[in-house]
Amino acid sequence: MTATRTAPSPRPRPSPSSRSDFASASLPRHLVRGALGFGSIALAVVLLPYAWPVSLALLPAGLLALRGCPMCWAVGLAQTLSRGRLERACEDGRCTLRPAA
C-alpha cells in the first residue's frame, strides 16, 4: 500500500463582508460608543467606594459598549476612519494597501 501526498491547498481568504471587524457604520456612532464606554468605566471607578453594586454594573456595560476593550475600540476607530479610503490588492501572494480609486 502506497500513500500519495498531495500539496496542501491554500486556504480561501475570507470575503470582506465575512471578516470580523470592530468598525461602526459611521464615525459619529463610533464616537458615541466610545463616550458611553469610557464614561461608564470612569464612572465605575469613581463610584466604587460609594456604591459598589452600581460600579460593578457599570463596568461590564462600559466594556460591552467598547466591544471588549479600549484597544478594540481604538482599532475600530481606525477601521471606521479608513473604510472606503483604502483597498487591499493581492498579487503573486503579496498583499498591499493602496488608496481606493
Say how many domains are in the chain.
1
Give pLDDT, residue 18.
45
Can you list the alpha helix ranges (DSSP code H) found in the chain?
27-47, 52-65, 70-82
Does residue 94 form part of some domain?
no
Does residue 16 form part of some domain?
no
pTM of this prediction exceeds 0.85: no
Nearest-CA neighbor of 66 among 55, 80, 82, 77? 77
Does residue 6 form part of some domain?
no
Q: Tell me whether residue 91 is exposed, middle or buried, using C-beta atoms within 10 angstroms of its C-beta: 0 to 12, 13 to 18, 19 or more.
A: exposed
Does residue 19 form part of some domain?
no
For the chain, give the number of residues: 101
Does residue 40 form part of some domain?
yes
- Is residue 7 within 8 A of residue 24, CB to CB? The reply is no
Model confidence pLDDT, tens digit, residues 19-58: 557 788 888 999 999 999 999 999 999 999 999 999 999 9
Does residue 66 form part of some domain?
yes
Q: Residue 39's domain spans which residues?
A: 27-82
